[in-house]
Amino acid sequence: MRNPLTQATLFCALALCSLATLAKVEVEAAQHHALGSVLAVKVSEDIAPGDYEALLQGIKANPGTFSRKLVLLDNIGGSAPEAIRMGRLLRELGFDALVPATGVCQGSCVYLLAAGHKKTVNGHVGLHRPYFPSGDSALAQSQQSRMRYNAQAYFREMNVASQLAGEMQRIEPHKMRVLSAQELARFRLN
C-alpha cells in the first residue's frame, strides 16, 4: 500500500512542474483523490529578498480550507533572514515540510525545513555557516550576530534542537556537511 504523503508529494510535484514559468517560490492548490484539497508550495533555487512576499502573495491567491499544506524543498540556500521570515509564515499556517528523494535542502533552506509541523527528509540536508556580506572574518561574524535574527532562538521556536545553530557555525561557508539520518533525528529535522 502506498503512503498517502508519498502520493501527495508526487501529485504536488507534478502539478508544480507543469507551471509555465519557473519561479523560486511557487504556490498551487490541487485536489488529491486520497487527501482532498492540498496547498503545495515549492521553494527552489536560492532564497533571496522578496521571496517572503512572493510566498505570502501566492498563499493569499489560493484562499480556502485545505486538508493538507505542504512545502516541497529543493533549495540551495541563500538569505538566512528571508528564510526565517518565510519559515515563520509556513509554521503559522500549518505547513508540513518535505525534501523529496531527488531534492536537496542546504544552507538557509534548513530554516524552512525546521518550520514544518511534520518534517520528512527523503533527499539530502546540508549545513554550513551563512555567508557574511562583509566577509568571513571575526569582525564580520560579530556584525552577523547583531543582525535581526537569532538562529538558536528560531530553532527553539520551531521545536528543533537549538544546537543545530552551533553546528551550522562550525562549517565554513564554502563547505557543506550532509546530515546523516541519525543527525536529522537528533536535531528533530525528520
What's 111-163 look like in SS3? HHHHHCCCEEECCEEEECCCCCCCCCCHHHHHHHHCCCCCHHHHHHHCCCCCH
Percent of the chain whose pLDDT exceeds 70 = 78
Hey, is 75 helix, strand or coil? strand
Which structural domain range is residue 171 located in?
Answer: 4-186
CATH number of the domain bearing residue 182: 3.90.226.10
Residue 154, pLDDT > 70, answer yes
* Least confident range of 18-32, 59-73, 82-96, 118-132: 18-32
| pLDDT value, residue 21 | 34
* Least confident range of 10-14, 21-25, 101-105, 109-113: 10-14
Cβ–Cβ < 8 Å for 6, 102: no
Cβ–Cβ < 8 Å for 5, 120: yes
pTM for this model (two decimals)? 0.81
In sequence order, the 6+-apart residues with CB closer than 8 A to the CB of 183 are none
* Least confident range of 118-122, 131-135, 153-157: 131-135
Q: Is pLDDT larger for residue 76 or for residue 9? A: 76
**How distant is the alpha carbon of residue 23 from its chain centre?**
15
How many domains is the chain partitioned into structurally? 1
